Structure 1
Amino acid sequence: MAVSDTLSKNSPPSDASRGKGITLAVIAASQLMVLLDATIVNIALPKIRDALQFSTTDLSWVINAYTLTFGGLLLLGGRAGDILGRRRVFIFGTLLFGFASLLGGFAQSGGMLLAARALQGIGGAICSPTAFALIATNFDEGPERNKAFGVSSAVAGSGAAIGLLAGGLLTEYLDWRWVFFVNVPLAALIAIAAPRYITESERTSGRFDLPGALTSTLGLVTLVYGFIRAASDGWSDGLTLASFVLGVALMAVFLGIERRTRQPITPLHLFSDRSRTGSLVMMLCLSAAMFGIFFYITLFVQGPLGYSPLRAGVAFLPVSVSIIFAAQLASSLQVRYGPKPFMVGGGLLVTIGLTWLTRMNAESGYADGVLGPMLLFGFGMGLIFVPAMLLSVTGVAPAETGAASGLLNSMQQVGGSLGLSILTTVFARAAADKAAELKAAAPTDVAPTGEQLASAGNQVLTYGISHGFVIGAALAAVALLVAIFMIKSRPNGLPAESAAGAML
């Protein structure tokens, strides 16, 4: 589908309409670059571990160093766009992201790579919320903006799966370092095109809430660290408990700062709208499940199924297709039927898909164990993305659009980090129990063969994964309940134009 097709059918072909098509292409490209980087390294993780001598536990920080700084600073990035000008901040964030990617590609140690990943997250936190807010700046409210949101949400929804495919291609045919190098030319092209095709927003007066940004980010980091440490050292470990206490205390301080400061990074009154709050809670829960799916299904297809990196990436293509198709459907029918049917239906499909994944075992194949539940999950997420994006900015004052869009993106990244760490804790405990069970049942007078060891390893892996997905299914069920009881059928401020012309 050409991006220019997303422009209003009522608009005659013109330089302006073609220009808007390029505008949307630039914004969507930046979103794709930033969002796929949360997963593009997943398939390359075994190569990264061997090259830079990571332990298995520390390896998870290659993902979390990015998502935590990304999610924790998104609100500050959205505020920066409001105050300094969204296009200006968008370009700076894109260039910073490209520079950090270059550093990551040249990393010679684990510490250098983690620092580069954290810097990537900062760059993403600067450009991502401004990119989303620039849609509101550059596209008129109604069918035109709905179409633009539809394209953006399809890109955002499929970014994780596209990242896995790209990671497989780059890792198999080039080198793991190219999962970072690939961002450099893309960031440069976006930065060059942005001044020509993107309209600058009006700057608003204000100041930055640095105490709020720092306390929220540090609080999230310590909470995630607590979950990851619990996976290896147990829940009674002193440092694990201290991490949880400190994390909760920092988040409490953050809320106190936001209540008192004149210009908070997170305007708490944004939560006064029931439907907006419901959509944010849904994205928090569903993103937690989504990150776990991509991480652990990648381990499954490259482990028990024996897929190569490239084949593992291809295995996720049906998910991208289902997300894109569902997002386009939701975009075309959103105004006519309202957000609730899509969010309830999507939540139900996601819950069914994740419940199906809890039945995974060492004998499961791709067709019966992965494809079916992933298609349900992808279609359900696609139905949810568009209404969630629209609800996040509906009825919000123009000066707070960046903060509102940053809040939505923050929920996605924070949910992903917390979800992955929680699922990892459950996975590690269940896998350890299964390993102990198999060891106790194995004969002590006969050395196991290589085939027996491989079989036992697959059983341990899939047992841990299936138990982790129980948490994922529970989170999806919470999201479904939120959709049923919190999302209004016709939220105040939602555009009431006919959606007949909004088909993508």
Structure 2
Amino acid sequence: MSPEVVSPGRSVSRWSALAILCAGQLMVILDGTIVNVALPSIQGDLGFSQSSLAWVVNAYLIPFGGLLLLSGRFGDLVGRKRVFVAGLSVFTVASLLCGLAQSPGMLLVSRFVQGVGGAVTSSVTLAVIVTMFTEPGERAKAIGVYSFVQSAGGTIGLLAGGVLTQSIGWHWIFFVNVPIGVVAVLTAVRKLGAERGTGLGRGTDVVGAVLITSALMGAVYTIVGTADHGWGSGHTLGFGLGSLALIVAFVVRQLKAEAPLLPPRMFRLRNVSGALGTHTLLISGMFSFQFLAVLYMQNVLGFDQVRTGFGVVPVSVLIGLMSLFLSPRLIARFGAKPVLLVALVLMAIGLGALGQVSADGAYVTDVFPATLLLGIGFGMAMPALAGLAMSGATPQDSGLASGVFNTVQQVGAALGLAILSTLAASRAGNLIADGTAPGTAYTSGYQLAFRVAACFVLGALVVAVTVLRTPAKPQAAPVAATRGVRDGASA
């Protein structure tokens, strides 16, 4: 049975529903970065050791990256509204527990649960959007809003984290989620359209779910652990090979299972496979821009936290303007693939320009021009890429496609950050050991990392050119697929 969606005739209800979905997604994205500027305060208050402090971040990332795929498939089976509301509820309760934490152990457990709620919430958000908005122009606008929230949330998190921590304490970076989450849950129950999943009666691949969830959690754990153990350590190799073995076992299982968790047909869809490959490489290169640029501005240019935060604001502003206003029009006129290709070229040039920063440089000449290219490029790329990724998925598989899309984003971000930060640190450390001045050594490390990031984006460009195809315009949704919820209200 096809899932029921909000009636396309009720545009106001659909845009209200989009606001709810994006509010939940913004909370989830914020919590990936908002804790970064609060870490010193958390360490001093709760007594974290220097080595264990990173787990305040990692305890969130590991379940988040590991559960997206399973949660997305579960949304297809039992209904995406139910999954979204359940995930947002778990996230809100966990945020309250994080704010109340009085010990390292309580905070880490609460952060893990928060990551679970974040994964469940995020896994179905894009799927709900593409099933609500079937007309190409409106879908492009809706995905533009979603992409803006996805990309701008990190910068907002940096600014909000600093303000809240300095003004009223680190606990409030978590407490602020509680009233927003309560309102979002209650509103979602009322406003999101009723939806029936395909049903658990079709069968659930429990073995496959255990294999892929363990593999993804293991992979993210391996990647985030390279900062402490190094890429060639027994710890990294052991967990990496273990995760790879679980992935191979999962693939074998999917080929043989009667009701596979990830049907092989998904990867026979050209645009789905091409978009996932492009997305992985793009995020691996682009996600680390903010991290590396922040370090360059602080360690080389001497910026404080406030100036650093405002230094990356132009990227978010441009992403917002492009995602919300210009990108949907460009996609509607020229198609998603041409827009994506131009965007990838702009980002590769921007990252290449950052690869030329100097130790005695200035923000206006070394950083700002690149932020313009990166903001415009990323604001164009994400709506186009998300639309291409979802264009090949059937309504029954859209939750799964959404989960896969978000999964590769998390894994690609973790992988890119681990590789590029390690390269930058290693180059700087070697130069300092040879007697190079710290500012010059740091700059050389950042130059190398930015150049490798540009290569990742160029790799994404190659995949996009050779694999992706501009999809045909979708026809109007069948009446049967939109029956039952004429008023756009809750189930």
* TM-score, length of structure 1 as denominator length: 0.85
- 2:399 counterpart letter in structure 1: G
Shift in Å at residue 314 of structure 1? Answer: 2.1
**Using CA pairs below 8 Å that are at least 6 residues apart, which structure has the higher relative contact order?**
2
Matched, 1:417 2:398: no
Matched, 1:48 2:42: yes
Matched, 1:463 2:444: yes
Shift in Å at residue 411 of structure 1? Answer: 1.2
| Pairing partner for 1:289 from 265, 281, 285 | 285
Q: Which moved more, 1:406-415 or 1:21-30?
A: 21-30
Matched, 1:156 2:150: yes
Looking at structure 2, the residues matched to 495 and 173 of structure 1 have their Cα atoms a distance apart, in angstroms, of 53
Q: Which moved more, 1:27-36 or 1:236-245?
A: 236-245
1:205 maps to 199
Contact preservation (8 Å) 1:279, 1:388: yes
Tell me the SS of whatever aligns to 2:33.
coil
Shift in Å at residue 310 of structure 1? Answer: 3.2
**Alpha-carbon RMSD:** 2.6
| Pairing partner for 2:109 from 110, 115, 122 | 115
Shift in Å at residue 72 of structure 1? Answer: 1.9
2:360 maps to 363
1:100 maps to 94
Q: Which moved more, 1:217-226 or 1:174-183?
A: 217-226
Q: Which moved more, 1:296-305 or 1:279-288?
A: 296-305
Looking at structure 1, the residues matched to 47 and 428 of structure 2 have their Cα atoms a distance apart, in angstroms, of 23
Contact preservation (8 Å) 1:68, 1:217: no
Shift in Å at residue 432 of structure 1? Answer: 1.9
- 2:347 counterpart letter in structure 1: V
Contact preservation (8 Å) 2:292, 2:421: no
Looking at structure 1, the residues matched to 285 and 351 of structure 2 have their Cα atoms a distance apart, in angstroms, of 8
Looking at structure 2, the residues matched to 309 and 239 of structure 1 have their Cα atoms a distance apart, in angstroms, of 34
| Pairing partner for 1:491 from 460, 463, 471 | 471
2:33 maps to 39
The alpha-carbon distance between structure 1 residues 178 and 291, as it changes in their structure 2 partners (threshold 3 A), is farther
The alpha-carbon distance between structure 1 residues 232 and 17, as it changes in their structure 2 partners (threshold 3 A), is closer
Contact preservation (8 Å) 1:227, 1:421: yes
Shift in Å at residue 81 of structure 1? Answer: 1.5
1:372 maps to 369
Residue deviations 1:167-189, cap 9 Å, x none? 23222322223222221111111
Matches within 5 A, 1:264-283: 264-283=260-279
Looking at structure 2, the residues matched to 361 and 53 of structure 1 have their Cα atoms a distance apart, in angstroms, of 38
Tell me the SS of whatever aligns to 2:434.
helix
Contact preservation (8 Å) 1:158, 1:323: yes
Shift in Å at residue 109 of structure 1? Answer: 3.8
Matched, 1:64 2:58: yes
The alpha-carbon distance between structure 1 residues 241 and 21, as it changes in their structure 2 partners (threshold 3 A), is closer
Residue deviations 1:224-243, cap 9 Å, x none? 44445554444443223222
Looking at structure 1, the residues matched to 434 and 217 of structure 2 have their Cα atoms a distance apart, in angstroms, of 34
Structure 2 portions without partners, runs of 5+: 1-6, 478-491
Looking at structure 2, the residues matched to 225 and 24 of structure 1 have their Cα atoms a distance apart, in angstroms, of 33
The alpha-carbon distance between structure 1 residues 210 and 37, as it changes in their structure 2 partners (threshold 3 A), is farther
Tell me the SS of whatever aligns to 1:38.
helix
Looking at structure 2, the residues matched to 112 and 436 of structure 1 have their Cα atoms a distance apart, in angstroms, of 40
Residue deviations 1:383-422, cap 9 Å, x none? 1111211112214221111001111111111111111122
Shift in Å at residue 123 of structure 1? Answer: 0.7
Matched, 1:139 2:133: yes
Matches within 5 A, 1:253-332: 253-327=249-323, 328-332=325-329
Equivalent pairs: percent with the same residue?
40
Contact preservation (8 Å) 1:358, 1:466: yes
1:348 maps to 345
Looking at structure 2, the residues matched to 178 and 376 of structure 1 have their Cα atoms a distance apart, in angstroms, of 34
| Pairing partner for 1:124 from 118, 137, 156 | 118
Looking at structure 2, the residues matched to 411 and 229 of structure 1 have their Cα atoms a distance apart, in angstroms, of 18
- 1:283 counterpart letter in structure 2: H
Looking at structure 2, the residues matched to 315 and 483 of structure 1 have their Cα atoms a distance apart, in angstroms, of 31
| Count of residue pairs brought into register by the alignment | 468
Looking at structure 2, the residues matched to 272 and 428 of structure 1 have their Cα atoms a distance apart, in angstroms, of 40
Looking at structure 2, the residues matched to 49 and 357 of structure 1 have their Cα atoms a distance apart, in angstroms, of 32
* TM-score, length of structure 2 as denominator length: 0.87
Structure 1 portions without partners, runs of 5+: 1-6, 442-455, 498-504
Looking at structure 2, the residues matched to 405 and 179 of structure 1 have their Cα atoms a distance apart, in angstroms, of 28
| Pairing partner for 2:240 from 222, 225, 244 | 244
Shift in Å at residue 265 of structure 1? Answer: 2.8
Looking at structure 1, the residues matched to 227 and 189 of structure 2 have their Cα atoms a distance apart, in angstroms, of 47
